[in-house]
Structure 1
Amino acid sequence: MKKSLVVIMLGIFISVVATAGVFDFLFKKGNSKKRIEVTLRGSTTVLPIGMAVTEQFSKENKRSRVSVSGGGSSTGIKALLDGSVDIAEASRAMKSKEYDIAKSKGMKIKEIVVAFDGIAIVVNPSNGVTALTKEQVKKIYKGEITNWKEVGGPDKAIVAVGRDTASGTREAFDHLVMDKEEPATGVLELASNNAVLDDVENTKGGIGYIGLGYVNHQVKALTINGIKPTFDTVKNKTYPVSRNLYWYTTEDKINNVNGVKQLIDYLLGEKGQAIVKSQGFVPVK
């Protein structure tokens, strides 16, 4: 009887040890079993890419939870530097002062070019103007050209709309078109590409600027310096208002946050770059 009890107890002990070993393998050593949790925030221009890529990535990686939000490039970069997100989406390059903040915190920033974009200058579809020079666009936003008849259009006041100061598209426009000169005080500042689209669509004298992926029937994209904003002209950099789109993260997050490297690799891979193109932007590969 005693011998049988010892045998039973020994069997239970072996079973518990074996089970513990299985659990250790599955949950401690099996990285593939870890839940992927990644947060992204930033540019409203890059937002459609981020949302579409993470949606497909999550479908293919069932144990993943990826959250994406907008707010502007500056907002996303600040959140990365604050440590509140894993990836910042940006439609402009990080500034030297932002790199200085990262350095002061011991962060090693990783810059990833995820797509190419052209900032399309758009007008109301009823406007007869089809082309402008970059200099004319600058003068419009500086308030030096105020009526469409001055550039071959109808006798109608120009209503210029742009983006707010948190926008990477605004930063790129200021650099590529305005030569860092301030726009006129009358330029309406809006918070997103969609807001610019809606405003220009509903204002016959309106002009605005948006990412290439946002151009649709609501507005008419103008030829600038004789070059139309298209996939080819953006890719070969002949369109004069072309730029890169970025994801920013840190070496620490790539190495230690499960899912960050996987998500970046997915975006830069064949499937991810196909999604970039489907969103109206130019793939980097």
Structure 2
Amino acid sequence: MSQKNETLSLFLAVVITIGLIFSGLWFFMERWAQLNGTVAKSSETDNTDNPVNQFFSKCNVSNLPEGTFNYGGSTTWAPIRKNVDSSLQSQCPRFVLRYTQPPSDKPGSGTGIRMLIDNQLAFSQSSRSVNAEENAEAQQKGFSLKEIPVAIDGIAIAVNHDLNIPGLTVAQLKDIYTGKITNWQQLGGPNLPIVVYSRSKEAGGTVEFFLENVLNKENFGNNVNYISTTTEAVRKVAASPGGIYYASAPEVVPQCMIKTLPLGRTSGQFVSPYQEPLVPQSECPNKRNQLNSKVFRSGDYAITRNLFVIVKQNGQTDQQAGEVYANWLLTPQSQELIEKAGFVRIK
């Protein structure tokens, strides 16, 4: 009997000890939750001068809505999405930007504006202005589209390193892409067929801008070879002595495999998209050509354009998100980041 009593006593002691341990843990967990709740509550109400909570005052972006916002559009904007938008996400993680591609079409300025009109995006990024047809469609749905310029870009012309030609006028460039000029000899260069590359009309804002502003709404000639990406085009031009391609300047000016040509509105008045002197191919990539920001900003370079945030004017949270995002891009700090991403600051 004494052995059974000892066993029972030992069992009860273990049970009591375990109970005391769990009771202590429960007490400390409850106390911790109460303390955290007090701190959180006080931090939300400390900033009595601002209806936005203390988090957003640290975020330092006024009127920033909270939530996840779909945005998308121009492929030209890719360096900004990567290098500039990431800074906003780091500062303000409660303002979540989610890049959204079109379900069936290729991403681009046009598809971004289409998705915005169809309420699939909160705002869009574009490398061209909104056209009359898009404005009309938006009006039919009860709102208007506002374009806010935030950066300056230019179109640069890429050719093979071995091509010896001082530059092109915009008129000559048009004649090349409409098929009227087919040999570099017609432009004072070598007797060499011009191998013309472009992305397709459906590819996005850069092609649409080129058709509108360089070809004056004329169609591409039958001599144009269509490619999918700028990366593919650069490789083809590098392998084609007579090759030519156009793209957003930050995409091609620093490239080692090709060189970019000076452009002019008239013959003999060529302006380089890069800072002179041209860096020889032998020194690249240790040294790369830099964007000639001064002539882009002044308008001396022949083919420049603005990059826009397209905002839906509907008085709702999407409008607020787009306008706050655009205003943030126009701050001195963001303009500096835009310049580091390869574009030209607009302010």
Please classify the TM superposition score into its range, dividing by the shorter chain length. 0.7 to 0.9
Amino acid at match of 1:103: Q
| 1:194 shift after superposition | 3.3
TM-score between the two structures when normalised by the length of structure 2: 0.69
Amino acid at match of 2:339: K
| 1:140 shift after superposition | 1.0
Alpha-carbon contact 2:311-2:323 (below 8 Å) kept: no
Q: Does 1:280 find its partner at 2:342?
A: yes
Structure 1 residues 89 and 194: CA distance shift in structure 2, 3 A:
farther
Alignment partner for residue 84 of structure 1, among 120, 128, 132? 120
Match of 1:193 in 2: 230
Deviation readout 1:197-216 (Å, 9 max, x if unpaired) = 33323322210101111122
Mapped to 2, the partners of 1:49 and 1:171 lie a distance apart of 20
Structure 1 residues 219 and 69: CA distance shift in structure 2, 3 A:
farther
Alpha-carbon contact 2:313-2:319 (below 8 Å) kept: no
TM-score between the two structures when normalised by the length of structure 1: 0.83
CA RMSD, aligned part only?
2.7
| Structure 2 counterparts to residues 245-264 of structure 1, below 5 A | 245-252=307-314, 255=317, 259-264=321-326
Amino acid at match of 2:88: F
| Structure 2 counterparts to residues 107-256 of structure 1, below 5 A | 107-166=143-202, 167-214=204-251, 215-216=253-254, 217-225=256-264, 226-229=270-273, 230-252=292-314, 255=317
> Which protein has greater RCO, CA pairs closer than 8 Å, 6+ apart?
1
| 1:95 shift after superposition | 0.6
Structure 2: unaligned runs, 5 residues or longer? 1-33, 46-50, 57-64, 102-106, 265-269, 274-291
Deviation readout 1:41-66 (Å, 9 max, x if unpaired) = 11111222233221111111133432
Mapped to 2, the partners of 1:74 and 1:148 lie a distance apart of 33
Structure 1 residues 193 and 121: CA distance shift in structure 2, 3 A:
same
Mapped to 1, the partners of 2:113 and 2:89 lie a distance apart of 24
Alpha-carbon contact 2:182-2:193 (below 8 Å) kept: yes
Alpha-carbon contact 1:254-1:260 (below 8 Å) kept: no
Give the count of matched residue pairs: 265
Mapped to 2, the partners of 1:123 and 1:97 lie a distance apart of 35
- Structure with higher Rg: it is 2
Deviation readout 1:4-47 (Å, 9 max, x if unpaired) = xxxxxxxxxxx9xx98x959x78xx8665774322221111122
Segment of structure 1 superposing worse, 60-69 or 155-164: 60-69
Match of 1:6 in 2: none
Q: Does 1:59 find its partner at 2:90?
A: yes
| Structure 2 counterparts to residues 67-106 of structure 1, below 5 A | 67-68=98-99, 71-106=107-142
Structure 1 residues 69 and 154: CA distance shift in structure 2, 3 A:
farther
Match of 1:49 in 2: 80
Mapped to 1, the partners of 2:325 and 2:154 lie a distance apart of 25
Mapped to 2, the partners of 1:74 and 1:253 lie a distance apart of 23
Structure 1 residues 279 and 130: CA distance shift in structure 2, 3 A:
farther
Structure 1: unaligned runs, 5 residues or longer? 1-14
